């Protein structure tokens, strides 16, 4: 279905006429010498917009853990899949650097907030680079262009009268950086200290009663408009269970949202334009990063040049409310299209407890990559990571996946086809394209059918944003091809051919060997192409081992018979398993 959302014409008295929208005395510094920008146009663009995907921006109050690594990998796989299919695509990641938690963490470290953020942001940049993330942008909320985009966005909300000043009382969670309604608060008991405390029922984090004067966003005015948006875009939130949660929350009613904090309580952040006594709420500030790197504020006719609306925004399940209620409401208020879809994934647990920086129950992603390798970790996280349900992390699980899927599965298949001197992959490929292969029997026909269906099956899972299921489909093709090879056993056919005196029988056996080798080689070639978004380095090595040229590695090439010119290895194949694509793990488990 078409997930583009055309903003409906509403009759709320809060909206201003178009003539009033741009009569502002306030203009960000970078824009003062430029012509005024006009509001987003929902007219259909003639040229196709780039595919745009984002990770959440990661909070820099502590070092990254493997949960952040998973989010990066999942996002990168989706982006690389689009590139594989020939689309121009942009990936944006970055760091969220303002707010109470940063202010407190910097104070605890006796470091100025900006210096504190610089250090941790570099760690996240290093993780993105080490994880082979193909990001086009790394946004920091302390960047000048982001600060000016936030100020501009605020002023537009204010001019449309969606912002008002009022005294606010409520339960505030420093850890979540948000106010919660009374209905979302419950009393909890700390099992270690016996202390009772008030906490958010959604996140379990402690809250405190706060009373202060600040600015509010008229979120309550968007209940009907949000519900209409969800109705027209039923796949807006993936998976469907979380879409149901979002609809339920909005249907129960929305309270106006506090979007600033007194500067005496929170000084580390972007100040409210024309009111230095208030700091902009960290979540309003942070969410705008997604359109900052998409070029906001846009010049007329340039809204989609850098990809907005986002095709997919990937987030963890704990920040659904912010991204699937607050964020589209902010955008709708200014007539900006919300993202097309939000992929919400589950958490990684360690010893069946949620990974959390606050508790120290985390896995260092750099250590994990040092131990198992980048591509192996990308494979494991994609294969076992949860979308709907949490997944438990364990080194023994990684070893199991490696031994079964990579070393014993794919690596073994590549070795069995490329190493033997008793046949030639190149000759088998030539025979196939010259039409001199043997007639396929039922076993070979089943292999052909599997290969013909494979690309569409994988693409279907990726269209559902289920990278894990797509990977499992690819790996099933690996296992099926190993079974196919074992059933026909071309090495035995070769022995039989060598011993055969009848030339016609000998030739028929050779044709059957070539037929088998070709359909195994085709499986390896197609699998190698389809695995590129998951394991970029290992897939490139595999395709080099098979002799697939660099310009024949697109999704369109992942079709049975699509490449008539491969089979001569471009890299040394090695003499044994230790030299192969996936040698035995030299680590303790």
- pLDDT digit string, tens, across residues 390-439: 999 999 999 999 999 999 999 999 999 999 999 999 999 999 999 999 88
Q: What is the mean pLDDT of residues 236-247?
A: 97
> What are the DSSP calls for 86-143, one per residue?
T--EEEEEEEE--SHHHHHHHHHTTS-HHHHHHHHHHHHHHHHHHTT---SEEEETTS
Q: Is residue 462 part of a domain?
A: yes
CATH number of residue 400's parent domain? 1.10.730.10
Percent of the chain with pLDDT over 90: 76
pLDDT of amino acid 18: 36
User: Cβ neighbours of residue 156 under 8 Å, at least 6 residues apart?
Assistant: 21, 334
Confirm whether 455 is domain-assigned.
yes
Q: What average pLDDT does this structure show over 219-243? A: 98
Q: Can you tell me the distance from the alpha carbon of 340 to that of 313, in angstroms, rounded to the nearest whole number?
A: 8
- HSE at residue 339, side-chain half, CA atoms within 13 A, is 28
Give the predicted TM-score (pTM) of the model: 0.87
Lowest mean pLDDT among 16-30, 309-323, 399-413: 16-30
Under 8 Å CB-to-CB from 58, ≥6 apart: which residues?
64, 68, 93, 94, 95, 96, 124
**Parallel, antiparallel, or unpaired: how do β-strands 275-280 and 260-262 relate?**
antiparallel
Whether 468 is in a domain gets the answer yes
Q: Write down the residue that tokens 């002023």 correspond to.
A: 155
Q: Are 72 and 131 in contact (CB under 8 A)?
A: yes
Q: How far is CA 129 from CA 67, 88, 285, in A?
A: 16, 21, 25
Q: What is the extent of the structural domain holding 446?
A: 395-579
Judge whether residue 499 has pLDDT over 60: yes
* pLDDT above 90: residue 490: yes
Per-residue CA distances from 288 to 152, 271, 294, 308 (Å): 10, 15, 10, 12
pLDDT in tens, 130-178: 999 999 999 999 999 999 999 999 999 999 999 999 976 778 777 777 7
**pLDDT value at 33 more than 60:** no
pLDDT-derived band at 588, boundaries 50, 70, 90:
low
State the pLDDT at residue 308: 97
Sheet of 275-280: strand order equals 260-262, 275-280, 271-272
Q: Which residues is 258 bridged to in the sheet? A: 216
Q: How many domains does the chain have?
A: 1
Q: Is the pLDDT of residue 287 over 90?
A: yes
Contacts of 480 (CB under 8 A, 6+ apart): 447, 450
The verdict on residue 514 lying in a domain is: yes
Instruction: Classify residue 498: in a domain, yes or no.
Output: yes
Position 577 scores a pLDDT of 61
pLDDT for residue 149: 97
pLDDT digits (tens, 9 = 90+) for 43-65: 444 478 999 999 999 999 889 99
Q: What pLDDT, on a 0 to 100 scale, did the predictor assign at position 7?
A: 35
Q: Is the residue at 435 inside a domain?
A: yes
Q: Has residue 554 been placed in a domain? A: yes
Of 209 and 396, the structure prediction assigns the larger pLDDT to 396
Strand ranges of the sheet holding 353-354, from the earlier edge strand across to the other edge:
353-354, 348-350, 391-393
Instruction: Using the predicted structure, report yes or no on whether residue 241 has a pLDDT greater than 80.
Output: yes
Does 208 reside within a domain? Answer: no
The DSSP-derived string for 481-502 is HHHHHHHH-HHHHHHHHHH---
């Amino acid at each position: 279905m078409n997930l583009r959302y055309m903003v409906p014409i509403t009759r709320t008295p809060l909206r201003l006429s178009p003539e009033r929208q741009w009569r502002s005395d306030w203009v960000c510094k970078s824009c003062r010498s430029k012509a005024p920008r006009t509001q987003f146009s929902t007219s259909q663009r003639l040229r196709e917009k780039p595919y745009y995907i984002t990770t959440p921006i990661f909070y820099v109050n502590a070092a990254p853990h493997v949960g952040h690594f998973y989010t990066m990998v999942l996002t990168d796989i989706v982006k690389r899949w689009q590139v594989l299919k020939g689309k121009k695509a942009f990936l944006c990641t970055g760091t969220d650097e303002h707010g109470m938690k940063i202010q407190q963490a910097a104070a605890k470290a006796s470091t100025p907030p900006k210096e504190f953020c610089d250090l941790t942001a570099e760690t996240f940049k290093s993780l993105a680079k080490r994880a082979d993330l193909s990001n086009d942008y790394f946004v920091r909320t302390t960047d000048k262009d982001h600060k000016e985009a936030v100020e501009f966005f605020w002023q537009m909300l204010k001019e449309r009268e969606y912002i008002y000043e009022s005294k606010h009382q409520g339960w505030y969670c420093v850890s979540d950086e948000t106010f919660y309604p009374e209905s979302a608060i419950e009393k909890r008991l700390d099992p270690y200290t016996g202390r009772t405390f008030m906490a958010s029922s959604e996140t379990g984090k402690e809250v405190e009663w706060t009373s202060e004067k600040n600015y509010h966003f008229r979120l309550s005015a968007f209940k009907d408009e949000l519900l209409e948006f969800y109705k027209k875009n039923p796949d807006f939130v993936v998976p469907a269970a979380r879409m149901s949660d979002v609809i339920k929350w909005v249907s129960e009613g929305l309270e106006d949202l506090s979007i600033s904090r007194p500067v005496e309580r929170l000084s580390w952040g972007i100040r409210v334009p024309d009111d230095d006594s208030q700091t902009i709420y960290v979540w309003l500030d942070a969410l705008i990063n997604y359109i900052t790197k998409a070029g906001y504020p846009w010049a007329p006719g340039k809204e989609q040049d850098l990809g907005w609306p986002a095709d997919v925004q990937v987030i963890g399940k704990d920040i659904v409310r912010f991204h699937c209620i607050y964020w589209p409401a902010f955008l709708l208020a200014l007539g900006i299209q919300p993202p097309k879809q939000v992929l919400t994934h589950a958490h990684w647990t360690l010893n069946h407890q949620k990974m959390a920086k606050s508790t120290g129950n985390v896995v260092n992603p750099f250590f994990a990559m040092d131990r198992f390798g980048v591509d192996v970790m990308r494979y494991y996280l994609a294969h076992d990571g949860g979308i709907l349900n949490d997944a438990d992390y364990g080194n023994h699980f990684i070893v199991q996946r490696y031994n079964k899927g990579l070393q014993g599965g794919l690596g073994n298949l590549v070795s069995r086809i490329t190493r033997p001197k008793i046949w030639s992959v190149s000759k088998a490929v030539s025979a196939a394209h010259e039409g001199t292969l043997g007639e396929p029997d039922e076993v070979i026909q089943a292999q052909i059918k599997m290969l013909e269906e494979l690309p569409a099956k994988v693409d279907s899972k990726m269209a559902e944003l289920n990278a894990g299921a797509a990977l499992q489909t690819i790996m099933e093709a690996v296992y099926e091809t190993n079974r196919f090879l074992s059933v026909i056993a071309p090495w035995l056919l070769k022995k039989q051919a060598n011993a055969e005196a009848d030339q016609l029988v000998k030739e028929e056996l050779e044709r059957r060997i070539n037929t088998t080798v070709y359909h195994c080689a085709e499986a390896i070639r197609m699998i190698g192409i389809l695995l590129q978004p998951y394991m970029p380095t290992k897939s490139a090595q595999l395709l080099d081992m098979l002799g697939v040229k660099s310009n024949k590695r697109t999704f369109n090439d992942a079709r049975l018979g699509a490449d008539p010119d491969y089979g001569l290895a471009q890299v040394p194949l090695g003499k044994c398993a230790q030299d192969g694509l996936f040698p035995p793990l030299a680590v303790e488990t």
